Structure 1
Amino acid sequence: MAAGPWQAVTALVDQVRRALYDYVRSQDHPVTRDEAAEAQRISRNLAAFHLDKLVAAGLLRARYAAPTDQPRGRGRTPKVYEAAPGCIALTIPERRYDLIGEILAQAVAEDPTDARSAALRLAGHRGVALGRQVGAGGPVADVLAELGFEPTDDDELIRLRNCPFHELAVQQTELVCGLNQAFVAGLLDGLGRTDLHARLAPTLGACCVQIRPA
């Protein structure tokens, strides 16, 4: 899976790395290692090290391209860096409002007359797609943990201690919990876990979905 928000945030703890990130974001053109090093008054090798760490954390993106203000010369095309699109959000416990927002927006766009049914269908499809991306037979608990559900095994029952959509679920319980169940059911399907079933089991202080043997 892609780098998570924790990795992105911890990548900025180092002051040199944070300064390089701020510099790249402030520029209206891709930045070379030489330019970054000169701007921060550090060695080129040190700049390259920290820039690549920022790429690994998902904060920058890199490619090879000749500077637009310089003629193409001989030798290797330089590696350039620019800010990655999107934003980094960190919540404790983890929340995934971006996921449910994408599902609802797509549902309204596809079927404005019955967006609720479309959203349930799309939530299932999104879960299936993610499960297939991980691969059949993938560890269910690990995938759920990566998504922020905080799963815990209780004999044959998998309880989900955290709801990534909690605040929305409080406001629109029936809709959001239904989408949650459809998503988790789709995830199990995508993982090939036909032996497991996602069911609604609202519990105070926990996710409304539980996973039991089918």
Structure 2
Amino acid sequence: MNEIFEEAQKISSVFADKTRFLIYQFILTQSEVTYTVKTIAQKFHIHPNVARLHLSKLEEIGLLRSDWDHQTSPGRPGRVYSLRQEALTLSFPPRMYPLLSELLLETLQQLGPNEQAVLLRIGFLHGQRLAQSARMTVPALPATPWELPITALGSLLTIDGIPPNLITSQDSSATLRLRNCPFHEMLERFGVSLCALHHAILSGLITTLWPHIELTLVHCLPDGASECTLRLQLLNTDAAS
């Protein structure tokens, strides 16, 4: 028990610094894979030594990892920092929700072939509930999701705490790139089911807000991809006009 509270105190002390929290939030929501001390120092207008301290503290509690960069410049290699996918969880008093999730998923798998359909239906309904809440935030929606400002679209599609990166490819389609998996810790055992569940949640959200938009899963982490990729496709141009 003491170890739990000591770890919680360590994590909370790291985030007690507002700049450090903003640095982590910035890294979490950007599309770049790695960051240098110089990049963070310039972005937040702080001395490189201060930036290095903030990054080191985030690495100490397991939110970032660092490696030596031997390619970007000649001479002595510098450190580059990147996100760790493993999540940190604080709960007072301690709770075991990850274990509960794991046991429920195991139970669903034991129920037979219909478990996948049940899981996806529940995910889709959850997405619809998210869409109903989103309507209160953005009551006047444009014809397609990619016509929204990127910040507004990110807020609408954020179901896991991390907004997606949107790349518009054509007038009738767009691509969503999701760096953070809300179910990452369980992907090794339940990857196929959880990717399908995540897709179902987003489908319920998207198709409720835009019935003429279809969401297709292109790549996902269990397939070896570095991020999940989904395509938004306009099905009927007349319906959007």
- Give TM class, smaller chain: 0.3 to 0.5
